[in-house]
Amino acid sequence: MEQYLEKKYVQKNSIERRDYQVNLANQAIKENCIVVLPTGLGKTAIALQVIAEYLSRGTGGILFLAPTRVLVNQHYEFLKENLTLDDISLITGEDPIQKRTKLWNNSVICATPEIARNDLNRGIITPDQFGLVIFDEVHRTAGDYAYSGIAQSFENSSARILGMTATLPSEKEKATEILTKLRISSVAERREDSPDVKPYTQETHTEWINVELPPELKSIQTLLKLALDERYEALRKNGIRMAEQRSLSALLRIRQFVLNQNRRSAKPLFTGIRIHYALNILEAHGITPFLKFCERAQAKKGVGIKELFEVDPNFTRAIHLAKEAQSRGIEHSKIPKLKEILESVPGKALIFTSYRDSVDLIFNKLTEMGISAGILIGKAGDAGLKQKKQIETVQKFRDGVFQVLVATRVGEEGLDIAEVNQVIFYDNVPSSIRFIQRRGRTGRKDTGKLVVLIAKNTIDETYYWIGKRKMTAAKSMGDKMTRVLEKNHETESQKTGLDAFL
């Protein structure tokens, strides 16, 4: 017999009672806490229980933050459906100030971080209005992301802080930054193999599929690498030693140094960075995305652009070969492989790619193959999909209007996309957080399948090893953080808040 949650302010017979959720919620009610729970196991249901508790206490409003408009909308709809309360509001940058000022007075508010930070800075709202603040996708509380600014505003407030994420960062500095900024006292973590969680999860089988680049792409790859070698040689002559392996991140790290102390290296450095980007896109995404990237780069006025696109024999030849390949319909060996994979598993599939031009390419190719597909991309400037359109797309996919959804990063975070039979990574990501989020979109109700496409001898392979290392580090991060926090509690029991960390 299914049992339901019985709690004041929670609709009767609406939320299944799961022990692990109740236990995690109780911990979050007691102290500032980060709940770490794999995707699809009901972080929002935990948030709901904490919200209901704080509503009964009447200690102030509830602020529920999430990084994207689609996600905020999803939380808003969930709370509206499951709370016995009418004054729940949704606030995003699309609302004018007058409307927002009124909405901020509601008991429960779902908002995007930028708008919350800006209205706190404007004094439209004050931290003491709130008794509980929830940071969804809390791993984003780093650097100058809006979560950091909001955390600062609440530094001296007595509001309870709840952070939620599917996985902690793999880097110690980032993990410490989150703990410190949000004054976290404990990490409440469950994994897929935790005894109380196991009954609610299905296995996800991961398959890594290697593809060979077609000969046309290999020729272009060789030319781009030759062009890159020349830039590394020029940097070496200018006295810049690249100790570690030649990589984009290594070049990006020396930018400041070159601008401040070695200006003559600016041209080879910035040209080298552009060639790296172009090479990565060619290797992981194919001909059309590569050419589109080159088009955009050429349109910009930057150091060494003219020389790269008009004089450099290797680079100009690479572009010439790419245009030739494109005219013959050659893209990337991942495209025919996609068709094969999609046909092997019936049902819905979600394809992730990190690059927008690649979304269009995959969508067009699937449509040509007679496979019904939709697109989910974020909104950046005037490009991309507006919030309303994103919500519509997700709904259509849920309703089975199309079989495949091709998504960029916006589909990774927390979106409650209908049960998906398989998730395909068109490109690999060197991030444990993004890997775990992407993976969590399958295997919720039935056994799921995850397929990662890797082009041999390319950036995909490099990212595979980086990702593997980070996944291992992320797995142990929860335990490490818990140990640090427990030590703080023991040795610094007189100190509170930030002092405990310093």
Q: What angle do CA 434, 439, 406 make, to 5 degrees?
A: 85
Residues 443, 308 share a domain: no
Distance in angstroms (rounded) separating the CA atoms of residues 19 and 196: 7
Instruction: Give percent of the chain above pLDDT 90.
Output: 55
Name which of 383, 359, 388, 199 is nearest 281 in CA terms: 359
Q: Both 125 and 168 in a single domain?
A: yes
Q: Which residues contact 90 (CB under 8 A, 6 or more apart)?
A: 72, 73, 76, 103, 109, 110, 111
What is the pLDDT, as a whole number, of residue 181?
92
Tell me, what CATH number does 233's domain have? Answer: 1.20.1320.20
Give the start-end residues of each E strand in 126-267: 130-136, 160-165, 186-189, 204-211
**The predicted structure's pLDDT at residue 7:** 93
Q: How far is CA 290 from CA 179, 196, 309, in A?
A: 40, 47, 14
Q: Are residues 24 and 151 in the same domain?
A: yes
Is the pLDDT assigned to residue 441 strictly greater than 60?
no
* Cα 447 to Cα 7, 203, 204, distances in angstroms: 32, 5, 6
245 and 361 together in one domain: no
Give the model's pLDDT for residue 501: 41
Please tell me the distance from the alpha carbon of residue 315 to that of residue 220, in angstroms, as a whole number: 9
Q: Which of 445, 461, 477 is the last residue of a domain?
A: 461
Does residue 321 belong to any structural domain of this protein?
Answer: yes
Instruction: Specify whether 191 is located in the same domain as 74.
Output: yes
3 CB contacts (<8 Å, ≥6 apart)? 16, 17
Determine whether 11 is exposed, middle or buried from the number of CB atoms within 10 Å of its CB (0-12, 13-18, 19+).
middle
Mean pLDDT of 486-502: 52
Interatomic CA distance for residues 167 and 181, integer angstroms: 18
pLDDT over 70 percentage in the chain: 88
Final residue of a structural domain among 328, 356, 384: 328
* Residues making up the chain, counted from first to last: 502
Q: Which region among 83-92, 211-220, 419-428 has the lowest average model confidence (pLDDT)?
A: 419-428
- Domain span at residue 236 reads 215-328
Other Cβ atoms closer than 10 A to 281: 24
pLDDT of residue 119: 96
Number of separate domains in the chain: 3
**108 closest CA partner among 148, 64, 47:** 64
Residue 498: is it exposed, middle or buried by C-beta count within 10 angstroms (0-12/13-18/19+)?
Answer: exposed
pLDDT value at residue 358 = 93
Give the pLDDT confidence of 127-154 residue by residue, as tens digits: 999 999 999 999 888 888 999 999 999 9
Say which residues have a Cβ less than 8 Å from residue 95's Cβ, sequence separation at least 6. Answer: 103, 115
Residue 497 lies inside a defined structural domain of this protein? no
Tell me what the mean pLDDT of segment 206-229 comes to: 94
Residue 473 belongs to some domain of the structure: no
- Residue 414, sorted as left (phi over 0), alpha (psi -120 to 50) or beta, turns out to be left
Q: Which of 4-8, 94-98, 332-336 has the lowest mean pLDDT?
A: 94-98
Are both 361 and 457 inside the same structural domain? yes
Q: Are residues 303 and 231 in the same domain?
A: yes
Question: Residue 85 carries which DSSP code?
Answer: -
Residue 66 and residue 137 share a domain: yes
Mean pLDDT for the stretch of residues 446-459:
82
Establish if 466 belongs to a structural domain. Answer: no
Bridge partners (DSSP) of residue 207 are 451
**pLDDT for 59-95, tens place per residue?**
999 999 999 888 899 899 999 999 999 899 999 888 8
In-domain check, residue 251: yes
Do residue 245 and residue 373 come from a single domain?
A: no
Alpha-carbon distance of 168 to 409, in angstroms, equals 18
3-state secondary structure of 204: strand
Beta partners for residue 61, in sequence order: 130
170 within a domain of the structure (yes/no): yes
pLDDT digits (tens, 9 = 90+) for 337-374: 999 999 988 888 999 898 889 999 999 999 999 999 99
Q: 104 with 177, same domain?
A: yes
Task: Kindly state whether residues 448 and 377 are assigned to the same domain.
Answer: yes
CATH number at residue 55: 3.40.50.300
* Cα angle for residues 499, 479, 434 (degrees, 5° grid): 100
Average pLDDT, the chain: 86
Among the candidates 288, 312, 328, a domain finishes at 328
pLDDT band (50, 70, 90) for residue 497:
very low
Beta strand ranges found along 148-307 (DSSP E): 160-165, 186-189, 204-211
Domain assignment present for residue 387? The answer is yes
Whether residues 405 and 427 fall in one domain: yes
Residue 468, domain member (yes or no) = no
